[in-house]
A and B are shown apart, each in its own frame.
Chain A
Amino acid sequence: MRSITDWRSRPTAENLLLLAVAVCLAIAAVRAVFVLVAVPTAVYADSQAIAAAQAAGSTVPTQTVLTRIGESAAWQSWWGGRVVPFRDGGDYIGVMWHSQPTRTVGAVIGVLIERDRAKGVKIDRVVVPMDEEALFGQPPGALFTRPDGTTFRSQWAHIDRYARSFTDVPVERRAYAPFLDSAKAAALAAKTHLTLRAHDFFMADPVPGSSGTWVLYSRQGASREYLLVPQELMTAGGAS
């Protein structure tokens, strides 16, 4: 008895088409299975290596599981070099920042200002650097190397313009040196009780009775950090 799976009863072109569909689907399935096996293996091996390095006293950059998945070769080949989905930070604006170029800093500031104002924090004005060279201490377009060895080029961000999409608080551009070295940043963090609000972005505790003017600082440490500090607490950098 013949059935619909009987290829002899079909024209060659139809058999070829069905065969091609089957081959395409099989390739897709095999690749997906390979990724499902290879990626967890790679991430596990990576975790073991990090644990060993930490046990040996080495400083290891913090990475989320999703970041490590994204760095595995099997995943990259399958995913086609696209951005890896993320969820770390507990705050999408922060997560965005972690994965985006510097342009997003204005949006992050705008969101954080509005959030903290809603909690009663006095923020009347934010000062951001005017000099585009100062943000990273290098001219725009300079090549930077991340702790993981990957590189990026700095790109000037219109912080004030992008912040305006999120807040009515004036974001004022002034000429000052916003770049902090590690020692200054650590001293500042200790003095101001900086709070991690979003990945790589810190805000200091507000000063009681303060003017409400906050100043943006930046430092390139293990990861790029941004600091939003009440003017009264600022000692380093020389805000005007």
Chain B
Amino acid sequence: MSGIPSELAGLAFFVVTGWVALWPARRTMGPVAYHLAALPTGLLAAAVASSVGALTNRPLDLVSAAGGAIVLAVVVQLLLRYLGTPAVGMKEVRPVSFALAAASGGVLASVFGVLRLTVTNNDSVMSYWPLGVELARKGVLTPGLIATRSVLIPSMNAIYYSFGSEWAYVVYPMLAATLLAWLAMTLLAGPLSSLKPHTAWTIVGVAVAALVLEPSFLFHSVFVHSHMISAIYLLMSLTCVWLAARPAHGGETAEVDRTYLVLAGVFATGLMLARPDGLAYLFVPSAAAMALIARPKVELKAVAAYFAPVYFMLVATYGVAYLELGMWLSGKLSGKRTLAVLLVVLASAAGPWVVAWLDKRLPFRITGERFQSIFVAATAALMVAALLIKHTNAREALANAWLNIFAGHGGYNYLWWGVLALLLLSLLTHDALRRDSWTRSPFLSIVLFYVIALVVHGISHAGRVGAGDSLNRVVFHTLPVIVWYLAAVAGRIFGDQEKALPAVQ
């Protein structure tokens, strides 16, 4: 049996790494966000550790893991110190909060450890875990690892293996619990912050209940795969962008909180490295961040705040993979394909200046939040073109997606019909595209995710009918973001009424 001590040791390693890395941001984040973000941040050390192991020609053992943790912590600390916005009069993180966080996290992890619930498919058993064991024993990056799974999860498994684990499983429900708490915390700190406490907490309670009652959320909480990890990084990177913007506080003239932009970039790298197609989904938080930093007058520090963590992680993982493997071959994510996407990612840091330059010359404005709408529309047009070119594969992919997501074969019952209805209704309430709001960027991010998903699956991977289909599992990544968005819409509705109340009383 996989021992609970090894599960707890792995978690403690990642949490401590996260604590150290995020130390300069603690006052801006406050104790709750700081402690919640520690595990997802520390987890990224695994990806760096695989490169440390590969470059030093040693297995991904505890020495390589420590090396990865130190490199990650130093880089994130430097980025937060030099690119973040200095915290003024913010919340202090007291020493006792570390004890509380460690105790509550330890108890929760022990409960999950004793329950020993886990779910696997072939990817879990034949790929994620063996690749981790192989990394721990040999430390060699292979084309199969980079192309089919990406480095984050196998490297995480390698570190667990080095701690004596025979099957890492507690981290998944821990990430699910972190996701729920982060969702609640960011809603209260963001769109619901101006509501009366009982209204805000009621909305948060409903949002959390909506996820907890959804079988797919419970399933992915114990599923040894990339989905809960992708979902939490997507939610965290996007919410950090939105908290950096704090809409309704001055629009394009308001100062951006660069500390949250650095955090958004850090968490976006988790999304990027959790799965091979994470490189494509990286454009979802990137478009939201660009909408924030592509202003008529571009601030270099704001651009660097988001893109520097992304560049660092690209060099630390894919850069090392090219050094070790050259131009690797694969039917999935080959070296050439990866390079093409990487070049777009690298070039996108110049985007804010290009947008500002075009904005001055075009008859209509494209900076600020208009950028995200234009980017989504342009990507959707590209999607249609790509699907028409690859129409045979696209037709099969769309047919499978329809059967899985809407016709009940994917195990969601009527979930996505409800989601579709609610998203359409939010268009009618004008929240979906409302300017300078908490809801516009989330709506556009959700749409962009599906556009990218349809491109990825429409041109290359038609999938199959059944709950195990890749796209059918990938759509789950958006579920927490959708819940966050709908809670923000509800917050806006009740907020409007609360504001109107004194006038009618």
Contacts and interface: CB of A to CB of B under 8 A. Distances in A.
Interface of A: 1-4, 6, 9-11, 13-14, 16-18, 20-21, 24-25, 27-29, 31-32, 77-87, 90-93, 95-96, 99-101, 103-104, 107, 110-111, 162, 165-166
Q: Interface centre among B115, B116, B222, B498, by most A CB within 10 Å?
A: B116
A93 B505 CA distance: 66
B425 A16 contact: yes
16 contacts: A3-B501, A9-B497, A13-B429, A25-B206, A28-B210, A31-B213, A77-B413, A79-B215, A79-B219, A80-B467, A81-B411, A81-B466, A92-B166, A162-B130, A165-B133, A166-B130
Interface of B: 1-2, 115-122, 124-126, 129-131, 133-134, 166-167, 169, 199, 206, 209-210, 213-216, 219, 222-223, 410-414, 418, 421-422, 425-426, 428-429, 466-467, 486, 489-490, 493-494, 497-498, 500-501, 504-505
Contacts of B117: 85-87
A3 B500 CA distance: 10
Contacts of A17: 422, 425-426, 428-429, 489, 493
B486 A92 contact: no
A32 B467 CA distance: 20
Contacts of B130: 107, 110, 162, 165-166
B422 A83 contact: no
Given A2-B501, A85-B222, A18 B493 contact: yes
A86 B500 CA distance: 52
Contacts of B206: 21, 25
Nearest to A4: B497
A21 B122 contact: no
A78 B2 CA distance: 30
Given A17-B422, A79-B411, A87-B115, 19 more contacts: A2-B504, A4-B199, A4-B501, A13-B429, A21-B486, A25-B206, A25-B210, A27-B414, A28-B209, A80-B411, A84-B119, A85-B119, A87-B118, A92-B118, A95-B118, A100-B120, A107-B130, A110-B130, A166-B133
A95 to B, nearest CB: 7
| Chain B, interface SS category | helix
B126 A103 contact: yes
A84 B223 CA distance: 10
Contact of B216 (A29, A80, A85, A92): A80
A82 B493 contact: no
A82 B476 CA distance: 14
B122 A100 contact: yes
A166 B131 CA distance: 9
A1 B505 CA distance: 6
Contact of B421 (A1, A20, A96): A20
Contacts of A79: 215, 219, 411
Contacts of A77: 413
B118 to A, nearest CB: 6
> Nearest 3 pairs between A and B by C-beta?
A80-B411, A165-B130, A92-B167
Contacts of A107: 125-126, 129-130
B412 A32 contact: no
B133 to A, nearest CB: 6
Contacts of B219: 79, 82-83, 85
Contacts of A3: 501
A198 B127 CA distance: 20
Contacts of B493: 10, 14, 17-18
B400 to A, nearest CB: 15
Contacts of A91: 1, 166
Contacts of A165: 130-131, 133-134
A221 to B, nearest CB: 23
A93 to B, nearest CB: 7
B119 A20 contact: no
Contact of B425 (A20, A27, A32): A20
A84 to B, nearest CB: 8
B215 A92 contact: no
A82 B473 CA distance: 11
A99 B118 CA distance: 11
Given A20-B425, A78-B215, A83-B119, A93 B166 contact: yes
Contacts of B199: 4
B470 to A, nearest CB: 14
Given A4-B498, A107-B130, A83 B120 contact: yes
Nearest to B203: A21
Contact of A29 (B115, B122, B213): B213
Contacts of A13: 425, 428-429
A49 B81 CA distance: 66
Contact of B120 (A24, A78, A96, A162): A96
Nearest to B498: A4
A17 B427 CA distance: 10
Contact of B125 (A1, A11, A100): A100
Nearest to A87: B116
B122 A101 contact: yes
A21 B498 CA distance: 20
A9 to B, nearest CB: 6
A91 B166 CA distance: 9
Contacts of B210: 24-25, 28
A212 to B, nearest CB: 21
B59 to A, nearest CB: 13
Contact of B505 (A2, A4, A99): A2
Contacts of A90: 1
A57 to B, nearest CB: 34
B429 A14 contact: yes
Contact of A16 (B223, B412, B428): B428
B169 A92 contact: yes
Contacts of B421: 20
Contacts of A14: 429, 493
Contacts of A80: 215-216, 410-413, 467
Contacts of B412: 80
A78 B125 CA distance: 26
Contacts of B119: 82-86
Contacts of B118: 85-87, 92, 95
Contacts of A110: 130
Contacts of B134: 165
Contacts of B215: 78-80, 82
B490 A21 contact: yes
A17 B223 CA distance: 32
A11 B429 contact: yes
A202 B308 CA distance: 53
A99 B215 CA distance: 20
Nearest to A166: B133
